[in-house]
Amino acid sequence: MFKEHHITAVIPALNEAHSIHTVVQNLLQIHVEQRYVIDRVIVCNNGSTDQTAEVTLNAGACVVDEPRKGYGAACLAAVNLIENELPTDIVLFLNADQSEDVSEMLSLLDPIVMGSYDLVIGSRQSELQEAGALSPLQTLVTTW
């Protein structure tokens, strides 16, 4: 619980067995004033053919399966689980490939818990990113 808000992290994943354990563990270890920030992590296994689901469970997250391909379908499956089973005040969406620094999520959560915003979106683009970190398509979509 973070400042009296239940937070669920949602991670759509397709064949991310190599990185999902680290992402989940990093999320579950973030704490503020000796309290963990994330209440639960849901990884939506989006048709993986590797060990993504098993690695996720071993890392301490729950798994929801969504065989329909696509980031949106995966996110929706996780949100449906939240609506039907898990009390949540804030949903945090992340990628499974370690492309975000999870320690920076507090800067996204603070404006919401303070009541300033209902929706906050982070950007993967910055002057600090390495050259070639994003494909031309990702750069176009991110700046659009």
Alpha carbons 19 and 96: distance in angstroms, whole number: 7
* Tokens read off for 10: 């949602």
Q: How far apart are CA 58 and CA 35, in angstroms?
A: 22
Residues found in the chain: 144
Range list of H helices, the chain: 20-29, 52-59, 71-85, 105-113, 136-143
Q: Between 44 and 140, whose confidence is greater? A: 44
Give the domain extent around 134.
7-143
H or E segment to which residue 72 belongs: helix 71-85
Q: Which residue has the higher pLDDT, 55 or 126?
A: 55
Q: Examine residue 89 and state whether it is found in any structural domain, yes or no.
A: yes
Work out how many domains the chain is built from and give that number.
Answer: 1
In contact, 35 and 2? CB cutoff 8 Å: yes
Asked whether residue 77 is assigned to any structural domain, the reply reads yes
Supply the DSSP symbol for 130: P
What local confidence, expressed as pLDDT, does residue 101 receive? 84
Is 119 within a domain? Answer: yes
pLDDT at 141 over 90: no
DSSP one-letter string for 31-47: EETTEES-SEEEEEE-S
Q: Are 128 and 45 in contact (CB under 8 A)?
A: no
pLDDT band for position 121 (cuts 50, 70, 90) = confident
Per cent of the chain over pLDDT 90 is 62
Q: Does 17 score more than 70 pLDDT?
A: yes
Q: Is residue 2 part of a domain?
A: no
Does a structural domain hold residue 135?
A: yes
Determine the pLDDT at residue 30: 93
Classify residue 1: in a domain, yes or no. no
Q: What is the CATH number of the domain that holds 116?
A: 3.90.550.10
Is 79 contained in some domain? yes
Query: pTM for the whole thing?
Result: 0.84
In the predicted structure, residue 93 carries a pLDDT above the cut 70: yes
